Structure 1
Amino acid sequence: MPSAADIHLDFGEIAPNLWPTFTGDQPLPLQQHWAYGETLKAIGADISQLTLSHEGSPIAIALVGKRSFYRLIRMNSLMRGPLWLPGISADTQAAGLKALRRHYSPWRWNFMLLQPELADTAENQKVLKTAGYRRVMTGYSTIWMNLEPDADTLRANLAGKWRNQLKKAESSGKLETVIGGRKQHQYSWLTEREAEQQTRRGYQAVPIGLVPIYAGIAERFSPTDNSIGVMSVTALAGRKKVAGAIFMLHGNSATYHVGWSGDDGRALNAQNKVLWDGIMALKERGIRFLDMGGLNTEEGAGIARFKLGLGTDPVTLAGTWL
């Protein structure tokens, strides 16, 4: 069983070619995809790639953000990672987490906020505590939907009410959906609606200004790879845009980033058709997992119920640890 002393940490520039090795059969969170790291760098963030190795071979990679205060205090963040190479044992992962904790020592004013992609279980909490971390924030909840089953199976898994709303939207004869890609004019109307919605309701989400930057990064680095970038779905009633969604694509996974529906769209259950047709389009692109972007059962109870209607149980992560 390896110890923390056996784990080597190496910091460097983001190397996109490493990411396919670390995906395998596990979902890949947006926050730990190389294109997201390049997007944050494009807006001035200090992002580096951390590679954890054991006996000369990589076992994990992570994107780490860094901020400095008063030229003395360093605050680092590792959100929803590291990404472990498939097959790495739990003992080796624990040693890697302990090596991270030793490197980022508060005694040297070098702090690490770690939000691992681990379920909030007693066992995982014990691993983190044993490694020397303490929890400073409770866990984030989301839905990771497995898109690998065929369309009939996915449809059968939908909650009854959700499936009936989808049927009504499909059978109305009033709706058409259009799939868009990286071109900004295909989704800019949705980012405008989302900005208006955030202002009106007084909430904050992931900055929508990242969408065109992320699309541009994908076009620059991976112009022929349609599993990276942006995909939009627009629902039309005649010529009127009544609902839509933006998905961020990151390797074998995608994130439901923005969703909007007007009064006409809600009357036609358009958002059910938008999400369903989006899921089918993601499957065609080879996307295997869909992150529904978080659940807020208090301020966003209606949206949470809509997401839960997909028939997949939510998962709560272990939280943020220092």
Structure 2
Amino acid sequence: MGERAVPLADGPAPWKPLPSAQWCALLSQFADGNFYQTHAYGAVSWGERNLVHLCIRQDGAVRAIAQIRTARIGRWWGMAYVRWGPCVHRKDGSWDAEAFRAALELLREEFVFRRGWVLRVIPNIFREDAPAGPARQILGELGFLEHAPQAVYRTARVDLDPPLEIVRKRLDGKWRNQLNAASRNPLRVVEGNDTELFDRFMVLYEEMMARKRFDTTVNVRDFRQMQEHLEPSEKLRVALALHGDQPHAALVVTDVGNTGIYLLGATGEAGLKSKASYLLQWRMMEFLKAQGCRFYDLGGINPEGNPGVYHFKAGMGGSEVRQLGRFEAAPSESARRLLHWAERIRKLLHRLRR
């Protein structure tokens, strides 16, 4: 890459966590930046002391960045995890294969070769997109193996590039009819990014979960904590559909990078009749397009396990896509297997505690 890839650090140690504001400034330069690479997501999910950051520069320009979770297992062994990274698609350029390779080489050099850990990477790339082929080839050439392909993230993604009237025409006819019906109801939409709105969302969300008795691994209070710590430009967008002061539906989205992501949603019993969720989803498409997002990721689909939600999302005019996958590099196959065994034991203990 010309100039030697050098990790950016606030001091002499090359793998030191960067402050939230400094990391936000770097992340904001990338179209493939995303919520899962934000400092707040990493700090709440894994602990700030377990985060390290990588930045590759060339001639003063930032070419690639990655936030890495580190997890020590025992005294001499551990794993490093990059969720939805490294980011290599600058907003003023295109997806950078050279930077992608350089970032993976440096990550592998540090965590696999020097520390003897397992390195796990989930690139923010979908199989249907142009970078998928080159990225998979680079991963293979560097010795990364795909792990758990059956668990790959599957979602529906709405193209927000066309004018809004075209986006609306692409809605399924029945979905559009429900949207029209919701628009005729006496609903008002309140939206913003303050914690008071998030607290109102949480009340409706917890009421819905109690009604459905639906088991989930999502901890909505973690997202509330993330909202407090996200930088102003990264704050989650919360929208509520109200009839008077009664909330009928609510949702939470993120607009970091060029793809908005539907993170959380809740519908009250009254909202099922007023079709409030249709109104909110359309409002979020309008908001994300105004923010410059190219896509709206509907937050995952599961046609077999959750057919009702799948049917709702399938009507929004998007295309089904699958993420490239989860890839691992390890000092040995036994190290990989030991990590998978440890993770299975941890999940089992977590279920027993719950």
Q: TM class by shorter-chain length?
A: 0.7 to 0.9
Q: Does 1:154 align with 2:167?
A: yes
Residue 140 to residue 106, structure 1, CA distance change in 2 (3 Å): farther
Q: Does 1:180 align with 2:184?
A: no
Aligned ranges 1:1-322 → 2 under 5 Å: 2=1, 6-9=4-7, 10-14=14-18, 16-17=21-22, 19=24, 26-40=31-45, 46-54=50-58, 57-84=61-88, 85=90, 86-87=93-94, 89-105=96-112, 108-120=115-127, 121=132, 123-138=134-149, 139-171=152-184, 173-184=185-196, 186-195=197-206, 197-198=208-209, 200-205=213-218, 207-218=219-230, 221-222=231-232, 227-250=233-256, 253-322=259-328
Residue 319 to residue 252, structure 1, CA distance change in 2 (3 Å): closer
Q: Report Cα offsets for 1:224-273 as digits up to 9, x if no partner.
A: xxx42122211223442221112234355532111111332122221101
Q: Which moved more, 1:257-266 or 1:139-148?
A: 139-148
Q: Distance in 2 between matches of 1:14 and 1:157?
A: 42
Gaps of 5+ in 1: none
Structure with greater strand percent: 1
Q: Distance in 1 between matches of 2:295 and 2:24?
A: 16
Q: What SS does the aligned partner of 1:81 have?
A: coil
Pairwise CA distance, 1:78: 0.3
AA aligned opposite 1:179: E
Residue 283 to residue 58, structure 1, CA distance change in 2 (3 Å): closer
Pairwise CA distance, 1:114: 0.6
Query: Aligned residues: percent identity?
Result: 23
Contact 1:292–1:307, Cα closer than 8 Å, also in 2: yes
AA aligned opposite 2:15: F
Contact 1:61–1:82, Cα closer than 8 Å, also in 2: yes
Aligned to 2:336: none
Pairwise CA distance, 1:165: 1.1
Q: Distance in 1 between matches of 2:22 and 2:271?
A: 41
Q: What SS does the aligned partner of 1:82 have?
A: coil
Contact 1:62–1:78, Cα closer than 8 Å, also in 2: yes
Structure with greater helix percent: 2
Q: What SS does the aligned partner of 2:309 have?
A: helix
Q: Report Cα offsets for 1:267-314 as digits up to 9, x if no partner.
A: 222110111122223444555543322222222222223223221213
Q: Which moved more, 1:27-36 or 1:65-74?
A: 27-36
Contact 2:86–2:103, Cα closer than 8 Å, also in 1: no
Q: Distance in 2 between matches of 1:87 and 1:18?
A: 21
Gaps of 5+ in 2: 8-13, 329-354
Residue 194 to residue 147, structure 1, CA distance change in 2 (3 Å): same
Number of residue-to-residue matches in the alignment: 310
Pairwise CA distance, 1:66: 1.0
Q: Distance in 1 between matches of 2:61 and 2:108?
A: 20
Q: Which moved more, 1:22-31 or 1:73-82?
A: 22-31
